[in-house]
C-alpha cells in the first residue's frame, strides 16, 4: 500500500462536477468584504479568498498519494454526480438553517452594524435567505484521502462560505454517504482517521441525510 504524504499533497485543477452556479458575493459577518478588490490569483483552498465572489467552472483536486490509486474514487464521483450533489445540498441546507438561527437569535440582537449589513444582503439576494443556498456556499476543492486504519477512501468537498470566512466548510463523504462537516480540509488533511473524526463529530452534530457510523 502506497504511503500518503500529508505534508506534500498533489493539487491541480479539474472541471467542477456540480454546483457550478454556487458562489459567495458577500460575508455575513464582514460588512466590507463585498467591496474588497477581486484577487488576480485565486486561492480556492483559502476560505477568505475574494475569488469566492464569482462563479467558477474549476475546483482544486487534492490527493495525498503519489500514484493513481485515488482514481477509482474520482471515477465514482464522476459516475454518481446526481446522488452526490443531492446529498451535499441536503447537508448544506442543514448547515445553512443552523447558521440562520444562530444569526437571528444570537448575533443580530444589539448589533446595529450587522443588522444593517444583513438588510443589505437580503436586498441583494432576490429571494428568501433560507432558499438561497447558491449564494452562501461555493464548492472550491475536492480532497481524496485513504482513511487509516480503515483503508476506505473518503472524499472531502470543500466550500468557501458567507457564514465563516475564517474556516470555510468541508463535508466528508464515504461514497454517496454524508458523514460529517468541519472546517475546510479539517477532516481530510491531518493524517488522522477521517472516519474517527466523523464519528466524533456525529456525537454532537448529526443532520437529516447523514449516515450514522457504527
Question: What would the pLDDT profile of 6-62 be if each residue is shown by its tens digit?
Answer: 999 999 999 999 999 999 999 999 999 999 999 988 899 999 999 999 999 999 999
CA distances (Å), origin 36, targets 39, 138, 163, 168: 9, 18, 17, 18
- Name the grid cell of 72: 477509482
Interatomic CA distance for residues 167 and 151, integer angstroms? 27
* pLDDT at residue 1 in the model: 73
Average pLDDT, whole number, for the chain? 95
Instruction: Rounding to the nearest 10 degrees, give the CA dihedral for residues 30, 36, 38, 41.
Output: -80
pLDDT tens-digit profile of 113-129? Answer: 999 999 999 999 988 99
What are the extents of the domains in the chain? Answer: 22-36+47-202
Q: Report the pLDDT averaged over residues 144-167.
A: 93
Which positions ≥6 away from 123 have C-beta within 8 Å?
none
> pTM of the predicted model, to two decimals?
0.96
Residue 151's pLDDT band (cuts 50, 70, 90): confident
Interatomic CA distance for residues 189 and 170, integer angstroms? 11
What number of residues does the chain have? 214
Q: What percent of the chain has pLDDT over 90?
A: 92
- Name the grid cell of 153: 477512501
Please give the angle made by the CA atoms of 186, 192 and 196, to the nearest 5 degrees.
85
Q: Report the pLDDT averaged over residues 89-106.
A: 98
Amino acid at each position: 500500500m502506497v504511503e500518503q504524504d500529508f505534508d506534500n499533497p498533489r493539487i491541480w485543477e479539474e472541471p467542477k462536477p456540480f454546483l457550478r452556479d454556487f458562489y459567495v458575493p458577500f460575508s455575513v459577518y464582514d460588512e466590507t468584504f463585498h467591496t474588497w478588490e477581486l484577487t488576480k490569483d485565486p486561492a480556492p483552498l483559502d476560505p477568505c479568498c475574494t475569488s469566492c465572489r464569482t462563479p467558477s467552472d474549476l475546483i482544486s483536486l487534492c490527493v495525498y498519494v503519489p500514484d493513481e490509486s485515488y482514481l477509482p474514487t474520482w471515477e465514482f464521483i464522476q459516475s454518481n454526480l446526481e446522488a452526490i450533489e443531492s446529498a451535499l445540498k441536503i447537508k448544506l441546507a442543514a448547515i445553512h438553517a443552523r447558521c440562520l438561527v444562530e444569526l437571528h437569535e444570537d448575533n443580530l440582537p444589539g448589533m446595529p452594524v450587522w443588522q444593517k449589513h444583513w438588510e443589505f444582503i437580503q436586498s441583494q439576494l432576490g429571494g428568501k435567505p433560507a432558499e438561497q443556498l447558491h449564494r452562501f456556499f461555493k464548492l472550491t476543492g475536492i480532497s481524496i484521502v485513504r482513511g487509516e486504519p480503515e483503508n476506505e477512501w473518503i472524499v472531502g468537498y470543500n466550500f468557501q462560505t458567507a457564514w465563516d470566512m475564517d474556516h470555510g466548510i468541508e463535508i466528508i463523504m464515504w461514497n454517496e454517504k454524508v458523514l460529517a462537516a468541519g472546517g475546510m480540509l479539517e477532516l481530510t488533511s491531518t493524517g488522522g482517521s477521517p472516519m474517527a473524526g466523523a464519528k466524533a463529530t456525529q456525537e454532537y452534530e448529526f443532520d437529516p441525510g447523514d449516515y450514522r457510523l457504527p
